[in-house]
Chain A
Amino acid sequence: MQVKEFKVKWGMVVDLDKCTGCGACMVACQAENNIAPVTEGSNKLRTLTWMLVYELSNGKDFPEHDIAYLPRPCMQCGKPSCSTVCPVVATTKDEEGGIVSQIYPRCIGCRYCMAACPYHARYFNWFDPVWPEGMDKTLNISTSVRPRGVVEKCTFCHHRFAAAKEKARMEGRDPMHLEEEDYIPACVEVCPTGAIVFGDLNNPEHKVAKLAKSRYAFRLLERLGTDPQVYYMSKREWVRRQGDNYLENEKTKGE
């Protein structure tokens, strides 16, 4: 597979020791990205959530039990399995910043990408979106409304990236050298514990660059070689261990 190298690589580091599973990121993401509300939400095979908070368990009995929450956006993989399988090039990773795009008008709804994504980060619009009467007045004008039949996924709030670059240009700053505050996705912005940190993984002035190198940092299914731009960290060994398919006697990363 050909891998494009980027000067700027937007990424997240999610501190799983801070996430309380409150769900604010999920709601903020829906509102920001014009995802229509549904009346039935607990059957996760039917819902459409670019950001989804998973519940993890250490598998032990009470009182040794421990629980953690894992928010899962799109990993914006360095080697995205999704884009390589797309027959119509509706999803690509070619823009500086390393965000994997999703071009809805091109998507033919074949859903190969959904099968290919190891993180279940992609969703299919089985139906046309419906907002209760009047609620469409709250649609965010920075994101489009997707019809039935197309696949969609987290874009790191790409429209915010575009706006940040535009603003930098207007102010005569280098759009390829944004500050951390210039561009923050909706979920990151609202998280009440500050569990999610966002920035350019290649910029040593950004917090993520350092955090991603922490000995407690890991990525999901790292050994698949998808090279995600989303990192997680936890001081809890069992949490790190669940991030990848470790063999029983193998040492966990960070130990």
Chain B
Amino acid sequence: MGLDRRGFITFLVGGAAGTLFTPVPWKLLDDVSIWSQNWPWIPKLKYGAKGVTPTTCKLCPAGCGLDINTVGKRPVTAEGNFSHPLSQGGICPLGAAAVQLLYSPARVKGPLKNNGGKFESISWDEAKKILAEKLSTQKGSGNVALISGDENGTANEVLAAFLAALGSSDYYFMPSDATAYATAWNKIMGGQGQIGFDLENSDYVLMLGADLLSSWGTVVRNQKAFGQKKGQYIYVGPVQTGSASVADKWVPVLPGKESVFALGLAYYILKAGKTCSAKGFAEFKEYVLTNYTPSKVQALTGVPANDIKKIAAELIAARRPVVVSGSDFGQGSGSLDMVAGIFLNLLLGRLNQPGGLVALPSVQAVDKAPDLNQLRQNSLINFISDVQKGAKRPDVLFIYEANPLYALPQGAQVASVLDKIPFKVSFSTFLDETAAKADLVLPTPHFLERLDDAYTPFGAGAVTYSVSTPVIKPVFDAKPTPDFILELAGALGVDLGISSFEDVLSAKAEKLGADWEELQGGQAYVGDKKVFQSALALPTQILSGGLKMPSSEYPIYLAPVARPYIGNTKLATPPFGVVTIRENELKGKDFYVHLNKATAKKLGLKQDKKVKLVSAAGQCKALVNITETVMNDVVAAPLGFGHTAWDDFSKGKGDNVFNVLTVTQEKPTGLYVWNNSQVKVVKA
């Protein structure tokens, strides 16, 4: 995107020098220019009748309703659908670039088989035969696993039912705050339903790490709610992100220490006499009051105790406050982060209240599929480490709409684990890093070419269901993955009790009480049901985790920053996203990491110097950008660079910060956490 302040000032002094020129006779020149612009190799416009087709975006989990403008049935541009609750006419930079991605050079043009490092084209029938053979020996042995990058689609039900029929429960979602909440809320606290936030009706939104207004959850809908806000938005996190830039207040807190800050707030709110009815409250309260004292919290988070006290008072005074905790970059949180945030909402009496934290019901349409919310609690990182240790040995790994080789912490470890799995099948629209290493690549159509859906995207404040309808026939030889899986099941003689994917979706609509025709016509279903909670428990034993002292070997905290225009965990920078990358984000082949003057001075670093970020997990190369948008002792690093596959629009630009993220285990839950990685910044 734009220039920095210096650049901005030069345009302020640019001035009106040109006004002195006088017009010269121009007629001749005019003719010359008309003639000279008539080059045949300039693309010609392809005329046709104009139309609009509504659909649901599947480029990220936010589930925005889009209006696709068409010319002669060809999609041309994407806009937000005004009547869709999650976009309300808005769109993110990825959605805005969605149509052009149909013709991305990185698209997989048909089924591919890896022949000793070289891909050769095969037919869908061959692909089915190969897989049927592989899996018939697996049947019942449970040696097949699946990684899904689709957080909320019903395709998961079909895939999970298939896996279950093969006797496997190794179904993993790519880690996100949705999976972290499922674990913290459903597993550890005994909560029912899926957590959401009713931002629209809140008068005080406290963002604890969760970068609500740039990348987190239902991001466009969050931004819409913010645009119409009546109260305040406060951002707590290490970096002045998009959320912090417009928030009423930015409270800098070290990465991963938002939970400690939350418990620091809880201290004051408990002192003010607030309570909640969850089991174990007395013990929990006691622990917080003794261990999360203002002075300790100040020391651990870097926030003055007085500021914490003030925000606690504001939360108490607000009529409809809500606390949204999450990781700054949308993944890697432990259960402490989520429990601490939920606890604040409970103390403030905000559960299932207008403008508060809500629990939303789930609906499933495939009887033979396991409960998806249960599957969200399966830890992919656990699986990776099990495979590494030899505790698990899948023979076949399915990867659906996910790029684990690029977007998981400790990339080097992930790569070595994937190498151990003998047969990998990537169902991907694009030839991403994972597909490039797969044995079979079975292209799933771009979402504009397929039937799909999004059920209550994570973070939404109400049950929301909408459907992606095919706007154009597949441009390449791609096949919807659920359709292929149903064919494969047929070939294996496995009965999933499903006749077609479309039937599954219409059954889901019926269960919800939604109109299938209307859904296909682009109308979203919105429900007002909330899930009543009867057995919430507060786990005191996890509280000690927040008091852990930082590592001294790696003295700088790493704050990864997610910015959708650079891409996300499954999508590299789209062709139309390239120009949005700022001068202080990328220079030639190098990307920038950001530290403030004080930190740079301490480390002896200057602007534009080459550095390496080194952690226990790995390293990456970068240039230094000195900016006061980052707090002391923190290096901020954008995610989304350093692709080694894809195309010229993203490949070979910068380095991949995921490789540096370090996983630690939360005690006593054993959950893997990587939102508090620490690094050394050394001159390269």
Contacts and interface: CB of A to CB of B under 8 A. Distances in A.
Interface stretch (A6-14, A82-90, A210-218): A82-90
A30 B79 contact: no
Contacts of B114: none
A55 B11 CA distance: 13
Contact of A141 (B42, B71, B629): B71
B74 A221 contact: no
A72 B77 CA distance: 21
Contacts of A22: 92-93, 214, 223, 242, 564-565
Given A41-B579, A115-B17, A144-B45, A192 B223 contact: yes
Nearest to B72: A141
Contact of A108 (B33, B244, B246, B630): B33
Interface stretch (B117-125, B166-174, B580-588, B613-621): B580-588
A112 interface: yes
B213 A193 contact: yes
B91 A132 contact: no
B16 interface: yes
B100 A85 contact: no
A44 to B, nearest CB: 6
Contacts of A117: 14, 18
Contacts, number: 321
A149 interface: yes
Contact of A135 (B3, B15, B89, B103): B103
B596 interface: yes
Interface string B631-658: 1100000000000000111000000000
Size category of the B interface is 35 or more
A255 interface: no
A137 B46 contact: yes
B18 A31 contact: no
A41 to B, nearest CB: 4
A23 B11 contact: no
B602 to A, nearest CB: 13
B23 A190 contact: no
Given A61-B628, A108-B29, A193-B226, A21 B1 contact: yes
Chain A, interface size: which category?
Answer: 35 or more
B181 to A, nearest CB: 23
Contacts of A41: 578-581, 586
B651 to A, nearest CB: 9
A20 B97 contact: no
Question: Which of A105, A190, A192, A244 has most B Cβ within 10 Å?
Answer: A192
Given A22-B223, A44-B3, A141-B71, A108 B245 contact: no
A220 to B, nearest CB: 7
Contact of A31 (B42, B100, B227, B565): B100
B132 to A, nearest CB: 33
B239 to A, nearest CB: 10
Contacts of A220: 12
Contacts of A2: none
B43 A136 contact: yes
Interface in A101-160: 104-109, 112-113, 115-120, 128-129, 131-141, 144-145, 147, 149-150
B532 interface: no
Contact of B5 (A56, A61, A89, A191): A56
Contacts of A52: 1-2
Given A24-B93, A42-B585, A88-B33, A30 B227 contact: no
Contacts of B578: 37-41
Interface string A27-54: 1101110000111111110011100111
B93 A49 contact: no
Given A56-B8, A69-B245, A190-B91, A226 B16 contact: yes
Contact of B213 (A1, A20, A38, A89): A20
B97 A88 contact: no
A189 B648 CA distance: 30
Contacts of B89: 189-190
Contacts of A226: 16
Which of B44, B79, B228, B596 has the most C-beta atoms of chain A within 10 angstroms of its own C-beta?
B79
B499 interface: no
Contact of A88 (B11, B30, B226): B30
Contacts of A209: none
A112 B21 contact: yes
A72 B2 contact: yes
Contacts of B579: 26, 30, 37-38, 41, 47-49
Contacts of A32: 77
B48 interface: yes
B96 interface: yes
Contacts of A53: 1-2, 580
A40 B650 CA distance: 9
B32 interface: yes
A23 B19 contact: no
B75 A54 contact: no
A224 B93 contact: no
A204 interface: no
Given A138-B77, A141-B46, A113 B18 contact: yes
B227 A57 contact: no
Residue of A22, A39, A108 with most chain B CB atoms under a 10 A cut-off: A22
B607 to A, nearest CB: 14
Given A109-B33, A134-B475, A42 B583 contact: yes
B598 interface: yes
Nearest to B94: A27
Interface in B238-295: 240, 242-246, 252
Given A27-B93, A62-B596, A112-B18, A149 B36 contact: yes
List 7 tightest A-B contacts by C-beta distance, closest first: A116-B18, A192-B90, A54-B2, A88-B26, A23-B580, A65-B628, A41-B578
12 contacts: A22-B565, A23-B565, A31-B97, A87-B23, A106-B26, A131-B43, A132-B103, A132-B647, A137-B46, A221-B12, A242-B5, A244-B12
Interface of B: 1-5, 7-9, 11-21, 23-24, 26, 29-30, 32-34, 36-37, 39, 41-48, 50, 69, 71, 74-80, 87, 89-93, 95-97, 99-100, 102-105, 213-214, 219-220, 223-224, 226-228, 240, 242-246, 252, 475, 564-565, 575-587, 596-598, 627-632, 647-649
